[in-house]
Structure 1
């Protein structure tokens, strides 16, 4: 049922794995390497078609200084935090409550409600562009951080509920029953018994949602127009000049924009791995 560990496979398979893995890793990293090199080039290198070679003009300080001094990237990064952090808090909080209800209580429509949460994740979000935009206009939420946060929470809660429900369902229900016998109400059981046990899962889910929302480009350009609320992913396109493509500045801005989710991942790496492996083994 499960793949055989690579250490237990035949010698040709292990050799193929050792050869193919570095090649696949290099191919996967090529776009990142290209962006990193472009962020260090001068405009002349790009104009002459030197995309993959070493820069002939190293402009490390100049490019990154220009990104912060000549563009509103700091405002975009601030907007991204204003969108991402409330979304993570809102989506994870709602998912914990819904996951607790679906994982602990046994009622007739439990499975149907769960399938509705899961089914929403299979709807291509591109087909929702027009109705979501019209709804945001009717509610007065278009071109605002509040509107973007609310729609992100709505779209992320389905996946987060699916994630949390499965973790909560695997908890020993004897602990919940024991807390009820001791006289604890449902909120006390949720807050003092269930949440401490799924803390690693909460950390893993928070990192995933933070990365999803921070890297979102589609909804930030559909629901936001002005720089006052534009997240950094949507704002990067404005780093190009009106008549001249400044790809060295766009690349430098992309590297700066990628730093927060990378930092979050490394700061919470232990919790993230623990959350993904929670319940993977027994005993």
Structure 2
């Protein structure tokens, strides 16, 4: 059976694979929300999903950074005097078994011990003067030449894109369930659109659902999840910047970054219209748990 002719595209810059969810976002966005409230719980659920997805997106690059850090640590290691003395003692002990005279001549044994320790210290001190600069770029480049590594890199961005978007959609639906009191709600339902426009103190339909970038993210998520990563007919009608090879979407870190920038703005809009709403500042115990997953 012939292998499929597949081509993939990955970003070659290791620095692109970081910063998906800024560390300060949670503190600045969720921190001011009253503890133990419905809104805080919904936001913490979202933050957990986003954070775990960001770790997935970062993992291939993180593994290389860990290897690099280990190499620098090993190269920078300097044996303490106690280790040199212990090592010298072991050498003398073995020599004593091979040269019995060392047992009888304790003065010679002592001189040998001192000489070994001195030589070992000299070697250690010379080694410590050698620079331990180990650039990460050549290590990264070597791994980028490995097909298995590049596939994991490529796949990590696709998986993360779907996870980032799905977490936002679940968050939005759960917020509307709280505002409407409905226990069953899907994005395809008319009740969902009505809830976006009418169930909160302000219409959030456009900034939080119908915004052009969110619509693109939805269509891309659908293509990745249900169409093998190939653009759908609906997606072909849209203008977007994601790279294509044939009809196959090539998700790179910047695609996840732009989507998260837009989704964070949408979440901040939801917070702005719910943070003082009685249903959202009620104790979180009033939120049904577990909630039905209908997405």
TM class by smaller structure: under 0.3
Give the TM-score taking structure 1 as reference length.
0.28
Give the TM-score taking structure 2 as reference length.
0.27
Indicate the structure (1 or 2) with the bigger Cα radius of gyration.
2
Structure with higher helix content: 1
